[in-house]
């Protein structure tokens, strides 16, 4: 009886919202995740989160042999795909269209050629321009089509509502074509975990995986979730913050070529490959941070802006001012300082880091 009374008394002492705050961490997709949430039931969602991320890997990881995307990439004419694959395929195609092809998951053969793919190839000693031209012919996202017992439909005409109980075969019109969703996958994975938390009744939370973030409702004290944007420098190994973004019910992603690159003969080669030239991008844009309604969209647009470069990205944003994307671009100046562009929508969500 004393033990029961002591236990009840301990529970009654939990009167502050912070008493119901939980943080879980783990490893997934070659990186780490961190999730913080407030739950009156004090549930541990780590097993469920790990299961969600494992299922995503089984479908979409180019690093996991035998995954659905690995089977498609190795095939000559295509392969059967699952619901996760279909969902991400459609979201990727929407961004492909919106960015006029600056975001294109079929760029994978060129990513591998330049030594940035999961195969861990060596970077080419000498660039074979003819090989680049050949591989560029495989970058044709808009040629993909889905086939079921109801017939074949081009990706441009396919809608999620048409899936029903049908099983879909993703056709490969050109042998050698390959897909890589890494430029949207981690942000999209964060969204799937956030969706799961919301389905469990969790509203106050944040989910971070490999630097991609989704924040839910404000904290119990009314304050917003605060996240840092790194200073884009490769001169040190420790994180130095450039600015802080305050979020609620939004996703945040940053793409940059300032740490993932190599140099040869005085030329820096970024891991961001332009899907229309076949070469690593050569411009002064160091990083692109995007806030959007979800992390997958933020992740994909951040990659697209790194492909475009700052000037083209700014023109694009002016032309497409109806998009739900808030953007922060950091470019290098000749004197070693930074040039910054902050969209008007994002200004009120940011604070400089001191």
Per-domain residue ranges of the chain? 18-62+182-217, 65-171, 224-354
Query: Rounded to whole angstroms, what are the CA distances from 104 to 124, 269, 339?
Result: 22, 19, 27
Instruction: Record the tokens describing residue 275, joined without a space.
Output: 């899907």
Outline where the chain has alpha helix (H): 2-12, 46-60, 68-74, 83-98, 108-113, 129-136, 182-199, 295-308, 310-319, 344-347
C-alpha span between 89 and 82 (Å, rounded) = 11
Q: Quick one: average pLDDT of 259-286?
A: 84
Out of 138-152, 265-279, 289-303, the most confident range is: 289-303
Give pLDDT tens digits for 157-176: 877 545 555 689 999 999 99
What's residue 182's pLDDT? 93
Confidence of residue 155 (pLDDT cuts 50, 70, 90): confident
Out of 20-29, 157-166, 261-270, 344-353, the most confident range is: 20-29
Give pLDDT tens digits for 196-213: 999 999 999 999 999 999
Confidence of residue 124 (pLDDT cuts 50, 70, 90): confident
Q: Is the pLDDT of residue 298 over 50?
A: yes
In the block, tokens 């609620």 appear at: 248
What's residue 268's pLDDT? 73
Question: If you ran DSSP here, which 8-state letter would residue 324 be given?
Answer: S
Q: Does the predicted TM-score (pTM) go above 0.85?
A: yes
Instruction: Record the tokens describing residue 25, joined without a space.
Output: 């961490």
Q: Quick one: average pLDDT of 99-121?
A: 89
Q: Is the pLDDT of residue 64 over 60?
A: yes
What's residue 167's pLDDT? 81
Fold for 224-354, please state it. Answer: T-fold (3.10.520)
What's residue 99's pLDDT? 96
In the block, tokens 């012919």 appear at: 137
Instruction: Record the tokens describing residue 44, joined without a space.
Output: 């541990």
The four Cα atoms 47, 48, 49, 55 give a dihedral, to 10 degrees, of: 110
C-alpha span between 96 and 86 (Å, rounded) = 15
C-alpha span between 207 and 295 (Å, rounded) = 10
Higher-confidence position of 232 and 91: 91
What's residue 36's pLDDT? 98
**SS3 state at 86:** helix
Measured over all CA atoms, what is the biggest interatomic distance in the chain, rounded to whole angstroms? 81
**SS3 state at 241:** strand
Instruction: Record the tokens describing residue 264, joined without a space.
Output: 């040869």
Encode 55-73: b = buried (16+ Cβ within 10 Å), e = exposed.
ebbbbbbbebeebbbbebb
In the block, tokens 């990083």 appear at: 287
Instruction: Record the tokens describing residue 79, joined without a space.
Output: 């392969």
Beta-strand pair 250-256/212-215: antiparallel
Q: Are 246 and 71 in contact (CB under 8 A)?
A: no
Confidence of residue 353 (pLDDT cuts 50, 70, 90): low
Q: Which residues on adjacent β-strands are paired with residue 331?
A: 285, 339
Higher-confidence position of 120 and 339: 339
CA angle 207, 213, 214 (to 5 degrees): 65
Higher-confidence position of 65 and 236: 65
Give pLDDT tens digits for 14-54: 678 889 999 999 999 989 999 999 999 999 999 999 999 99
CATH superfamily assigned to domain 65-171:
ApbE-like superfamily (1.10.3980.10)
């Amino acid at each position: 009886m004393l033990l029961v009374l002591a236990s009840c008394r301990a529970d009654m002492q939990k009167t502050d919202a912070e008493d119901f705050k939980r943080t879980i961490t783990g490893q997934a997709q070659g990186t780490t995740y961190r999730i913080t949430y407030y739950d009156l039931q004090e549930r541990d969602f780590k097993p469920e989160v790990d299961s969600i991320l494992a299922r995503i890997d089984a479908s979409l990881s180019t690093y996991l042999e035998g995954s659905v995307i690995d089977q498609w990439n190795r095939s000559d004419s295509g392969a059967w795909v699952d619901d996760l694959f279909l969902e991400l395929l459609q979201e990727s195609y929407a961004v492909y269209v919106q960015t006029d092809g600056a975001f294109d998951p079929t760029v994978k053969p060129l990513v591998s050629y330049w030594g940035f793919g999961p195969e861990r190839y060596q970077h080419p000693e000498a660039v074979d321009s003819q090989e680049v031209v050949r591989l560029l012919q495989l970058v044709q996202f808009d040629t993909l089509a889905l086939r079921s017992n109801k017939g074949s439909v081009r990706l441009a005409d396919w809608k999620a509502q048409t899936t029903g109980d049908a099983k879909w075969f993703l056709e490969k019109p050109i042998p050698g074509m390959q897909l890589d969703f890494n430029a949207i996958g981690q942000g999209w994975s964060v969204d799937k975990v956030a969706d799961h938390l919301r389905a469990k009744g969790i509203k106050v939370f944040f989910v971070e995986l490999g630097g991609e973030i989704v924040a839910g409702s404000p904290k119990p004290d009314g304050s917003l979730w605060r996240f840092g944007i790194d200073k884009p420098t490769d001169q040190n190994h420790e994180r130095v913050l450039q600015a802080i973004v305050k979020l609620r019910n939004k996703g945040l992603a940053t793409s940059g070529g300032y740490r993932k690159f190599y140099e040869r003969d005085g030329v820096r080669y970024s891991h961001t490959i332009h899907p229309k030239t076949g070469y690593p991008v050569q411009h002064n844009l160091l990083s692109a941070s995007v806030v959007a309604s979800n992390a997958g969209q933020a992740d994909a647009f951040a990659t697209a802006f790194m492909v475009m470069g700052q000037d083209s990205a700014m023109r694009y944003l002016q032309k497409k001012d109806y998009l739900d994307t808030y953007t922060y671009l950091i470019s290098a100046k000749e004197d070693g300082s930074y040039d910054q562009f902050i969209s008007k929508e994002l200004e009120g969500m940011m604070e400089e880091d001191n």
